[in-house]
Structures are given as C-alpha cells and as structure tokens.
Amino acid sequence: MKKIVLSVAIMIAVSLGLYAQNSINDPFFEHVPYSGAFGQQDDWTAGWANWTPQNTVYPATNVTISGEITQNTTWTAGNTYLLQGFVYVNDGATLTIEPGTVIRGDKDSKGSLIIRRGAKLMAEGTIDNPIVFTSNQPAGNRYYGDWGGVILCGKATINQSGGEAIIEGGPDATYGGGTSPDDADNSGSLKYVRIEFPGIAFVPDKEINGLTFGGAGTGTSAEYIQVSYSGDDSYEWFGGKVNVKHLIAFRGWDDDFDTDNGFGGMLQFCVALRDPEIADPGSGSNGFESDNDANGSSNTPITSPVFSNISIFGPKVDATTSINTNFKRAMHLRRNTQLKVYNSIFTGFPTGLFIDGSAAQANATADDLVVKNTVISGMGTFFASDFERNYFKTSDLKNDTLVNNSDLHIADPFNLESPDFRPLAESPVANKSTWGSDGINELKKYGLSVNFYPNPVDALGNFTLEIKNSGRIIINLYNMNGSIIQCISDKMMSQGVNNISVNLSGLPSGMYVATCTSDKGTQMIKIFKD
C-alpha cells in the first residue's frame, strides 16, 4: 500500500512539473541590466576576497582536528584549527564555524573536511570577518594541492545507478538520496568563505576539488565564496539542486566550474580568473566543463544547471600572451549535457565554445542546451567547428563575438593581484541582458511571466503576473507530496501586470510549489516557507 501511495505522489509531482528543469525566469535570478558578474558600481568581491593569499600571514594552529565529528560542534574564532587527514562530520551532527575563524589543512595527511549525508556545515562569515580554509605551509611556500578541500554530501537526486554514489577524490562518503531522494535537503550554509590552496591528489587522477557539492539540495545555502589556487577543479557539482550566488574561482589548476551526474541547480554572479602559466597537463583546463555523466548516457535527471551573469577571464590577455599549452576551452559542453548559460562573458582561451558530441549538439538544436545573450572575446579560435559557429550566431540567441578583450571595456580584469571586473560606461555588456530590451521574453511561450516575492517567505507573499492577453489564470499551491493545499486564485485577469497577495503564515516551514496555468500551459514556482 505504501508503494502505491508513493507512486501516486510521484506521478502527481511529475505531472505538476515538480521535477522540471529550472528556468532563467525563476525568481532566484536577480534581474540586472548587464551581462557578466558585475555592474558598473557593483564590486561584490570588495572587503572579503584575497588576491594574494600566498603572502598572507595566518596564525599558527593550536587545535588539531582528526577523525569523525559525531555531535554538534562549534569552532571559534579564538582558535586556529588544523585538519589532519579526512575529517568527517557524521549524520545528525552540525559543525558551526564562527566568523573570522581560520582552518588550515595538513599537507602530509591530506587534511580535508567532509560533510556526510544528514550532517550540516554552518560556516557563515561576514565581509569583515570571512572564514578562511587555507594551507598549513608558511607564507611564500604554499602551492596548489597543499591540502584536500571542502566536500558537502547531501540526499538530493543524482543520475547514478541506485540514486547514490561515492564522492570523487578518495573520501569514504556517499552522496545522493538513493531510492527516496530529498531535493530540498539541507547540508548547511556557507557565506563569506575563502578556500585557498586545496585540491590534493588522493591517488593519481583522483583529486579533491576546492569545493565539492555531491547531491546537495535546495535547502543548502552557498554565496560569497572564493576558491583560490585549487589543485583540481575550483568547484564541482555532482547531481543535486543546490543554488548558489557570488562565487570566485581564482588561479585554478583544472576547470573553474564543473557540472556532472544530473546537477540541476541555478547559479548567478560567478567570476573566474586564470593564471596564464598554470593549467592541468592531464585533462586540460576549461572554464566550464559539463557532462550528463562520465558515459554521456541519457540517465535522468539530465545535467541541466542554469547559469546567469558569469565572467570567465581566461589566460590570454591578448594575442601576444604566452600561455600554458594545456589550456583548452572556455566552454566544453559534452556527454549529453543540457547546461544553460545566459548574460555572460567568456574571454581569452585557445577555443571559445566546444559543443562536443552528437547528443550535446542535438540538445543545442532542441534548445535544451542554451547559450544566450553571451559575449565571447579574445579567443585563439572562437568555435571548435561550424556547428558551434552556426549555433552561437543564431540571431534569436543574441550572442556576440569580439576580436579583442579590450573591446569589452572592463576596468582591469586580468590583474592577478588586484583585479577589477566592473564594466566601464562604454562597455558593450553594460546594458546587455536577458531582462533588457534585447532579451528573451517568457510571454512568448506561456502568455504570462510569473514572479513571487519575498522568497523565502514568512507570512505575506505576493505574486506578480504579467499577462500577454486577458484570460483565465489559475494559481494552485501544492506540498511536496503533490497534494493541493490551496487554490490561491482562479479568475479572469487583464492584459498587463496583475498582483495577487497570499498569507502563508499558517503553513509549516519547507518547500512548496505554486502552479500558474493559462490557456498556453503551466509554469511552476518553488516557494520556500521560513
């Protein structure tokens, strides 16, 4: 009987689009007029990022941490911690790290911090007092892969057999929710965190990334994070649905942003800056690398993250720059991925865009893989083949190419010690955005565009609906079992902007789904109740 009820709930959920891919029209995305990660007056790296960690003097360690953390634990700013070997936070335990705390990783024992499924890492620094994970080597002697890195494992959906897998890099940690995944799973919160000199190899070709998300759910929060000098990928996501904002990948070794195994989260305001001399001699170094899985299968969910407002500054400042021969592509989209990227800037790689393989190319042709309102500049070769050229230059996508990086008119993006990623007033990306006059418009597809705010919501929330043509609009609210909780609205609405308020104070905390239906189809909005 329980199996029948579960199957029915899943069928309802699928019919309502609960497992549908995210969209650039999701309320998660801030509507900004510019492409790239920065506006003219918005340097969100100021005050907490560190561009010269090699020379930063950190306090000596006075507390050594090893083994497993099995109960709620707090690390305080008055101490400096040494991670010795693989340090695990076990199921049911929460590790809280105070603002300003410094944690150093031991090189010989491959010090690493691994958050197992069911555990949480609460590492919320501030602009003035970020939390720092760094090398235990002295200033001037630090290097790529001086320690392991930070790994968060959750219970969200992945596309591996059985719904779970062992995390990459050597730790004994499983990620993914198995046969009963929880896409709203919460592995904790990271804010104003720096991760410096991570990425040690456990064995050859099994490196730990700077920051790894394995099956992390939407309850996990991550923003204002800098990964510097990582000995593998700066960031990698294996499945899950975690959403993130304000990421820095600085002088990494391998890829900047790597997505695999059914990852379907949303990301906005991410920047990468590469060192021309450093690249991975094994797999080669890319800005984006994205696979559905290692075999390019059709296993679901398909890897389908939505990126917006990304700035990738590759190794080639201009045509005269000498770079490591192991640099490859700004975007290597392969193995059946359905990655989507909007409102972004990619510069200075040997190749700009490579949509690799017939499956990924078919996804691009079907608009399941998307590159829109994006500029690529200063590439050795802009496109890997005529397919990428013809796709990228499709007029409806509103993409552009610039021969020289200087044509972008970005303040000082290639400065390795004090970069400034903000566009100047004359920059062609300062007013190029999906949400500007050049942008796409969801009204064309559904006849309505829907937003909900605030989200998360405590009590009173508001729907804003822009209607293309007058008609009947139905708004229903569902719980995660697929059961309807409330019909919020069922009435005729006029062309233009319509506002509807709803009081959700009586609902328990958690994630809900609102469906907004017109005569052209149904849109879904995830609502998070505090």
The pair phi, psi for residue 408, each rounded to 5°, is -75, -25
Residue 441 reports pLDDT greater than 70? no
Quote the pLDDT of residue 446: 59
Quote the pLDDT of residue 158: 98
pLDDT digits (tens, 9 = 90+) for 9-18: 433 443 344 4
- The pLDDT-based confidence of 469 (bands split at 50, 70, 90) is confident
266-280 average pLDDT score = 98
Residue 174 reports pLDDT greater than 70? yes
Residue that has been written with the tokens 């990852």 in this structure:
263
Name the percent of the chain lying above pLDDT 90: 78
Residue 55, burial from CB neighbour count under 10 angstroms (0-12, 13-18, 19+): exposed
Alpha carbons within 13 angstroms on the beta-carbon side of residue 488 total 22
The one-letter amino acid at 378 = G
Quote the pLDDT of residue 466: 80
Contact (CB, 8 A) for 528 and 453: no
Quote the pLDDT of residue 453: 79
Quote the pLDDT of residue 452: 84
330 Rama sector, left if φ>0, alpha if ψ -120 to 50, beta otherwise? alpha
Residue 126 reports pLDDT greater than 90? yes
Quote the pLDDT of residue 11: 38
Quote the pLDDT of residue 8: 34
Quote the pLDDT of residue 16: 41
Residue 386 reports pLDDT greater than 70? yes
Query: How far is residue 290's CA from residue 329's CA, in Å, rounded to a whole number?
Result: 12
Residue of 123 and 522 predicted with greater confidence:
123
pTM: 0.82
Strand-pair category, 345-347 with 375-377? parallel
Tell which CATH architecture fits domain 2-19+445-529.
Answer: Sandwich (2.60)
Residue 383 reports pLDDT greater than 70? yes
Residue 296 reports pLDDT greater than 90? yes
Contact (CB, 8 A) for 186 and 120: yes
For residue 8, what is the enclosing H or E element? helix 2-16
Quote the pLDDT of residue 470: 87
Query: How far is residue 69's CA from residue 84's CA, in Å, rounded to a whole number?
Result: 13
* Closest C-alpha among 114, 123, 75 to residue 220: 123
User: 209-233 in b/e burial notation, b at 16+ Cβ within 10 A?
Assistant: bbbbbbbbbbbbbbbbbbbbbbbbb
Which three-class secondary structure state does DSSP give residue 54? helix
Cis peptide before 454 (omega within 30 of 0): yes
Which three-class secondary structure state does DSSP give residue 179? coil
Quote the pLDDT of residue 443: 54
176-182 average pLDDT score = 97
Distances from the Cα of 98 to the Cαs of 82, 121, 192, 480, in angstroms? 15, 11, 11, 33
510-530 average pLDDT score = 83
